[in-house]
Amino acid sequence: MSYGAKNEAKAPNLMRAHMFGPFRIISQSGEEIEISNQRARAILAMLCLAPGTRIDRDLLCSLLWQGRYKEQARASLRQCLLELKKALSFTASDILETKRAHVRLAPSCVSSDLSDFESQLERGAFEAAASSLAGIGAKPLLEGMAFGDAFDEWLRQRRNEVDRRLETGILSALAALDDRGENAVYMQLITAWRTRNPYAETEAAISRHGDKIRVAVLPFKTLGDLEGHSYFADGLVEELITRLGRIPELLIAGQRSSSQIKTTDLGLPDIATALRVNHLIEGSVQAQGDDLCINLRLIDGQTGFESWADQYRGAIDDIFGLQSKVAAAVARALGETLGISFSTLKAYSMKADKAAYDLYLQGRALTTRALGDEVSGNAIRLLEEALEISPNFAEGWTALAEAHIAEIVFTPCEDRVGQTARMAECAHKAIALEPEQGHAQALLGIYHWTQNDVVAALDYSYEAYRLEPNNPDVIGRLGCSLQYCGYTTKALPFLEAAADQDPVHARNFAMLSMAYLNAGDLGAAVDTAERMVDLGFPPLWCAFAKSVAGDREAAVEQYSKAGPSLKTAIRPPPNQPMSDEALDAYLLLAAKGVCGGVEEDRAAYCQLLDYLHTTYFDPYDLSIVQPAIWMGYPEMVFKTLGVRVTPSNVVSLMSLWGDVEPISRIREHADFMAFAEKIGLVAAWEKHGWPDVLPEPETCADQ
């Protein structure tokens, strides 16, 4: 019989350890075991964390007697172990194994708040688990223990490891409770987990999107004389999307997708299929003198038949009040038609002049288009005019921040640093005026990426999702932030949800394709990238995905034919305009370097990137950074992203996490960790866990 088995039979659960908060050890009779030697207490705590696991004596010496001579440390350790044996002598069992090379605690002699909680999750005792977790609360593991840098690092890693283990168990429990419909216990568990993890609802909530009723609000028609009031129909659609999006039981299609799909010749059932919704809301607005007449219809997405219709009238002078009234009526009627009781939602009071609102809607429409000459510049101008009229218009400041992002990302912007700062100012103003501006929080997250403060960037992204969990732009940006950090497994559900909710937005499929590639699903990566191209994005990423999937000939062909996209969306290098022939030659060289798989071609394009880095108007431009990652050129990555992250090039971080050649060369480079620490990634990993494809630094625990 093994040592562990023998002692399990003789002395099960002779002690109980409190691992969260200050470490305490309680005897079977309920008395606290006094251990005055702080290092002896630490040894027992380390053993209680993993009963039955051997811990190397040299490891204990290095952690608890950092800087001591080896023999001194070993002598001190022996003394501590003698004190521990004496303190535990009440058990009448030799539960502490002390060998020449290691120390071990009998595996079943101790229970703890940690082991009890994990056992409850494993057994499906979720109500008991919720109660245990509420008792644990936000107390840190082994609070108050400090014996120098080495021990602090060991403890940090153990805390991260335990929290990740608990998170996995809790998410599994929440999914099981959701499947069973046990809402009361579900809420008990997630409420308790929220105390420990403020972002507890993100993964759980995103997994519940599939159960929601899916609705799209299509652009309304304008009839009659609406001159001077043309913005009202667009504003009403936006109000409906915003208001219905706050109802937990509903999932509303993104406004970008709804507006684009309506311009097609598809019938209503086909539109519903394309938007992945069950119901459509159609409407029209007609001016009749000083009054407005609004007609609304709820359409069954499968049949195209009308489920409900109504008409509303109101004065043009009370446009915003009328919008709120109609939105509330639609929500109520939708609930009655579908047999769902929706909670009453507070109507938002629009703080904008009518003229400012018209300018705001025009600017928003241009920002949605993103690509095209002067599009974002005109959007910025219109939104600035709107805010001159109504400076307390929070949505206007959020929209202006978004327009600055579009200017930075989709144009050859020559002042990306200044534009980024202005974007952040606008987002801060929006939040100061209306703290629930979730999209503004997400945009501030992008700003903090540019400041190498990844911890804050993730915090803002999570807060944005908490405030606007049904906004596909917010969902997608959280997914991107997680993927930038290398958290592919966590990012994928958010990126899939954003594409599912806004399925005519090319950017969503670009981001999702990158995540699929990082996850190793190359077929899905290619299919999703082709969808991105169909929706109007440049085909460079699609070509790279094909090359990784093995179709190098098709990849080179597609990449080399990207000239038209580059001319309309991205300024082609070098700085001066290129002839068609020169651009074709440049793209062929780039295509062979990125997609061809031949080392000589790769080296030739890397050499050209060196030249571009010294001559291009922006040496940190995505057109330099992205191919450097695809070709596994770490030195260029480090002297671009390692010097300046911008809203334009931050997306390239998503490509760092593919477990493929030659990208993996970057992560294997000796300077990679220094680069990751410089741009703030290491700080985020230390808080949220290590990325999927990087092994956590060697722990001090005995394996």
DSSP state letter for 364: H
Q: pLDDT: is 351 or 308 the higher one?
A: 308
Q: Is residue 249 part of a domain?
A: yes
The yes-or-no verdict on residue 60 having pLDDT over 90 is: yes
Tell me if the bond preceding 574 is cis, omega within 30° of 0. Answer: yes
pLDDT band, residue 4 (cuts 50/70/90): very low
Query: Across residues 54-72, what is the average pLDDT?
Result: 91
Q: pLDDT: is 314 or 6 the higher one?
A: 314
Looking at the structure, do residues 12 and 85 belong to the same domain, yes or no? Answer: yes
Judged by DSSP in three states, 232 sits in helix
Q: Spell out the SS3 assignment of 484-523.
A: HCCCHHHHHHHHHHHHHHCCCCHHHHHHHHHHHHHHCCHH
What is the model's pLDDT at position 380?
92
CB atoms within 10 A of CB 674: 12
Judged by DSSP in three states, 309 sits in strand
Backbone dihedral angles phi then psi of residue 629, each to the nearest 5 degrees:
-70, -45
Instruction: Write out the DSSP string of 74-115.
Output: HHHHHHHHHHHHHHTGGGSS--EEE-SSEEEE-TTSEEEHHH
Looking at the structure, do residues 50 and 181 belong to the same domain, yes or no? Answer: yes
Looking at the structure, do residues 117 and 250 belong to the same domain, yes or no? Answer: no
Query: Across residues 191-201, what is the average pLDDT?
Result: 70
Q: Is residue 258 part of a domain?
A: yes
- Determine the structural domain holding residue 31 and report its residue range: 1-197
Query: Across residues 77-93, what is the average pLDDT?
Result: 83
Find the angle CA(233)-CA(428)-CA(424) to the nearest 5 degrees.
95
Q: pLDDT: is 538 or 289 the higher one?
A: 538
What is the model's pLDDT at position 575?
52
What is the model's pLDDT at position 598?
95
Find the angle CA(286)-CA(289)-CA(295) to the nearest 5 degrees.
20
What is the model's pLDDT at position 515?
95
Looking at the structure, do residues 302 and 399 belong to the same domain, yes or no? Answer: no
Token look-up 């607005």 returns 285
Looking at the structure, do residues 173 and 271 belong to the same domain, yes or no? Answer: no
Task: Report percent pLDDT > 90 for the chain.
Answer: 42
Query: How far apart are the C-alpha atoms of 231 and 247, rounded to whole Å?
Result: 25
Tell me which residue of 26, 161, 66 sits closest to 701, measured CA to CA. Answer: 161
Q: Strands (DSSP E) along 231-378, which ranges?
A: 250-252, 279-288, 291-300, 306-315
The yes-or-no verdict on residue 150 having pLDDT over 50 is: yes
Mean pLDDT of the chain, nearest integer: 84
Q: Is residue 640 part of a domain?
A: no
Q: Strands (DSSP E) along 174-246, which ranges?
A: 213-217, 221-224
What is the model's pLDDT at position 701?
40
Pick the last residue of a domain from 469, 500, 520: 469
The yes-or-no verdict on residue 2 having pLDDT over 50 is: no
Looking at the structure, do residues 475 and 464 belong to the same domain, yes or no? Answer: no
Pick the last residue of a domain from 435, 451, 469: 469
Query: Across residues 498-509, what is the average pLDDT?
Result: 88
What is the model's pLDDT at position 570?
41
The yes-or-no verdict on residue 680 having pLDDT over 90 is: yes
Give yes or no for a contact between 173 and 121, defined as CB atoms under 8 angstroms apart. Answer: yes
Across the beta sheet with 110-112, what order do the strands follow? 24-27, 15-18, 110-112
Tell me which residue of 229, 382, 363, 201 sits closest to 294, measured CA to CA. Answer: 229
**478: domain CATH number?**
1.25.40.10
Q: pLDDT: is 33 or 204 the higher one?
A: 33
Instruction: Look up residue 262 and give its two tokens.
Output: 């309506």
* pLDDT per position as a tens digit, 424-483: 999 999 999 998 899 999 999 999 999 999 999 999 998 898 888 888 899 999 999 999
Give whole-number Cα distances, 335 to 175, 247, 248, 330, 434, in Å. Answer: 26, 10, 12, 8, 28
> 3-state SS of the chain: helix, strand, coil percent to 5?
60, 10, 30
Q: Is residue 346 part of a domain?
A: no
Residues in the chain: 703
Rounded CA Rg of the chain: 30
Query: How far apart are the C-alpha atoms of 509 and 503, rounded to whole Å?
Result: 8
Q: pLDDT: is 133 or 313 the higher one?
A: 133
What is the model's pLDDT at position 7?
36
Query: How far apart are the C-alpha atoms of 452 and 675, rounded to whole Å?
Result: 11
DSSP state letter for 479: H
Q: Is residue 336 part of a domain?
A: no
**21: domain CATH number?**
1.10.10.10
Looking at the structure, do residues 428 and 297 belong to the same domain, yes or no? Answer: no
Number of independent structural domains in the chain? 4
Q: Is residue 657 part of a domain?
A: no
The yes-or-no verdict on residue 576 having pLDDT over 60 is: no
Pick the last residue of a domain from 482, 501, 531: 531
Query: How far apart are the C-alpha atoms of 83 and 601, rounded to whole Å?
Result: 68
Looking at the structure, do residues 229 and 365 belong to the same domain, yes or no? Answer: no
* pLDDT per position as a tens digit, 208-264: 565 678 888 888 887 766 655 556 777 778 778 877 777 767 788 887 777 777 666
Tell me if the bond preceding 634 is cis, omega within 30° of 0. Answer: no
Looking at the structure, do residues 310 and 260 belong to the same domain, yes or no? Answer: yes
Query: Across residues 571-577, what is the average pLDDT?
Result: 51
pLDDT band, residue 284 (cuts 50/70/90): confident
Q: Is residue 696 part of a domain?
A: no
Instruction: Look up residue 138 and give its two tokens.
Output: 């936000």
Task: Report percent pLDDT > 70 for the chain.
Answer: 88
What is the model's pLDDT at position 262?
62
Residues 6 or more apart whose CB falls under 8 angstroms from that of 503 comprise 253, 257, 274, 275, 276
Query: How far apart are the C-alpha atoms of 140 and 284, rounded to whole Å?
Result: 57
Give whole-number Cα distances, 361 to 216, 233, 352, 364, in Å. Answer: 19, 10, 12, 5
Give yes or no for a contact between 439 and 474, defined as CB atoms under 8 angstroms apart. Answer: yes
> What burial class does residue 624 get, using C-beta atoms within 10 Å of its C-beta: 0-12 exposed, 13-18 middle, 19+ buried?
buried
Helices 394-410 and 354-369 meet at what angle, rounded to 10?
Answer: 30
Looking at the structure, do residues 100 and 161 belong to the same domain, yes or no? Answer: yes
Looking at the structure, do residues 376 and 314 belong to the same domain, yes or no? Answer: no
Instruction: Look up residue 239 and give its two tokens.
Output: 């109000």
* 52 membership: H or E segment, kind and range: none
HSE, CB side, 13 Å, CA atoms: give it for residue 608.
Answer: 21
Q: Is residue 606 part of a domain?
A: no
Looking at the structure, do residues 356 and 373 belong to the same domain, yes or no? Answer: yes
* 377 membership: H or E segment, kind and range: helix 375-389
CB atoms within 10 A of CB 156: 13
> What burial class does residue 545 get, using C-beta atoms within 10 Å of its C-beta: 0-12 exposed, 13-18 middle, 19+ buried?
buried
With b for 16 or more beta-carbon neighbours within 10 A and e for fewer, the 643-666 pattern comes to ebbbbbbbbbbbbbbbebebbeeb
What is the model's pLDDT at position 323?
75
